[in-house]
Homo-oligomer: A and B are copies of this chain.
Amino acid sequence: MYHLNYYLEQVAQLFADEQFVAEPVELYEPIDYTLRLGGKRIRPTLLMAANAMFGGSDDTVRGAALGIETFHNFTLLHDDLMDRSPLRRGQPTVYRKWDENTAILSGDTMYALAWRYFLRQPSPRLQEILNCFNETAIEVCEGQQYDMNFERRSDVGIDDYMMMIRKKTAVLLAGALKIGALYAGAPDSEVQKIYDFGIHMGLAFQLQDDLLDGYGDVAVFGKQTGQDIRDNKKTYLPLRAMEMANKDQQKLLAALFSSKEADDEEKKVKQVMALYDEIGLRDEVKRAIDDEFKKSIWTLDSIQVDEERKTALREMLSTLDGRKK
């Protein structure tokens, strides 16, 4: 135990053993479909690893592990509808495979099922745990709203962007870790540290995703590069580039990012990437990612448990960090 693979396997088994289909099947089949699409299941894995790190038994957190992943998949289901995304993990999204109403109602039900999983797992700190889950859920909703707002705004700065990805991505990773620690009965100071660790890891993870869109290896990254550029998506890359650019470069970048359905999309991607290179953006973004990774490592270092118990979380960090190589 204490290795990442152990928890990944525990979580995979947890979902394999669970029955999601019930009556009426029109409501539950899309839920089963969504929860069986797989994915890395990082959040329940973090939850179980944090619980074990602080001495908790795996049995005490299976409900919460199922709950946090069910909640995460509910947000993906509704986000895919709102963003009109046709595919998720290479398969048709629920609103495409069924219809919009199915996506709305099956999503709502998944949210309620997430609560059912949480409520089936008693704990002396249950109210704290449920508060953490719920406040995290509210922040995730706010993050999604900011993300949609930013698409319509032209004055988004790096600080706004960091606040948005904190809410949309980082708090759920941090919340999963905190919930694991609470189930284990960790002291408040250490609960706060594991939460902060998750925030930094989440920010690093999202910035890396932004970087990989520009500089990823298609074979490793698994998707085409430059998609954010084609979509005029204001990720960390163009926002930071704007700050670093001189007046002429700013003008060019703004023009490129306001063109709608450019005649030659590939030319646009090349122009943007050339500008990024001119500015020296890649190294700058790598520095920002490394900063967050370092902060997460320092926070993990400071947690008062045997080093051996930190193995899984250190392995998780290496795995995430390794993506950019």
Which residues of A are at the interface with B, using a C-beta cutoff of 8 A? 23-24, 26-27, 78, 81-82, 100-101, 104-105, 107-109, 111-113, 115-116, 119, 122, 126-127, 130-131, 134-135, 137-138, 141-142, 144-146, 148-149
Contacts and interface: CB of A to CB of B under 8 A. Distances in A.
Contact of A115 (B105, B113, B134, B146): B134
Contact of A101 (B82, B109, B127, B135): B82
B145 A105 contact: yes
Nearest to A131: B119
Contacts of A24: 142, 145-146, 149
A118 to B, nearest CB: 9
Contacts of A115: 115, 130, 134, 137
What is the predominant secondary structure among interface residues of chain A facing chain B? helix
Given A78-B104, A115-B130, A116-B135, 14 more contacts: A26-B148, A27-B141, A78-B108, A101-B148, A104-B104, A105-B144, A105-B145, A107-B108, A112-B137, A112-B141, A115-B115, A115-B134, A119-B127, A130-B130
A112 B126 contact: no
B82 A145 contact: no
Contacts of A109: 138, 141-142
B112 A134 contact: yes
B119 A26 contact: no
A82 B100 CA distance: 8
Contacts of A82: 101, 104-105
Contacts of A26: 145, 148-149
A43 B261 CA distance: 51
A26 to B, nearest CB: 6
A134 to B, nearest CB: 5
Most chain B CB within 10 A, of A82, A127, A145, is at A145
